[in-house]
Amino acid sequence: MERSGERSQECAAINLAQPFAQWGLDLIRPMLEGKGQVKCEVVAIDYFTKWAEAEALVTITVARIETFV
């Protein structure tokens, strides 16, 4: 699908008033296996402060993500 160069709608800025008002969580996999057989990574980003934290994981499980957050 080719892009025409035109946006389908106008982009709007998101105004955030304080840290941790909005944050994102990304899972990255598969990666080359590292020390301890890690092959996944979880990354959290606070959009207000641009603070990011990441942790390498062997497997992705709900319990492991809850512990990270």
Query: Is there a domain that residue 64 lies in?
Result: yes
Residues 6+ apart with CB under 8 A from 48: 16, 18, 19, 20, 21, 22
- Rounded CA-CA distance 16/34 in Å is 37
- Residue 4 confidence (pLDDT) above 70: no
Query: Is there a domain that residue 9 lies in?
Result: no
Query: Is there a domain that residue 15 lies in?
Result: no
Q: What is the pLDDT of residue 27?
A: 92
pLDDT tens profile 12-57: 877 878 888 888 999 988 877 778 888 889 999 998 999 999 999 9
Query: Is there a domain that residue 50 lies in?
Result: yes
Q: Provide the number of structural domains found in the chain.
A: 1
Q: Which domain holds residue 32?
A: 23-68
Query: Is there a domain that residue 17 lies in?
Result: no
Rounded to two decimals, what is the model's pTM? 0.68
What 3-state DSSP class applies to 65? Answer: helix
Query: Is there a domain that residue 3 lies in?
Result: no
Query: Is there a domain that residue 48 lies in?
Result: yes
- Residue 3 confidence (pLDDT) above 70: no
DSSP-derived secondary structure for 21-41 = SSEEEEEE------GGG--EE
Cα 17 from chain centre: 21
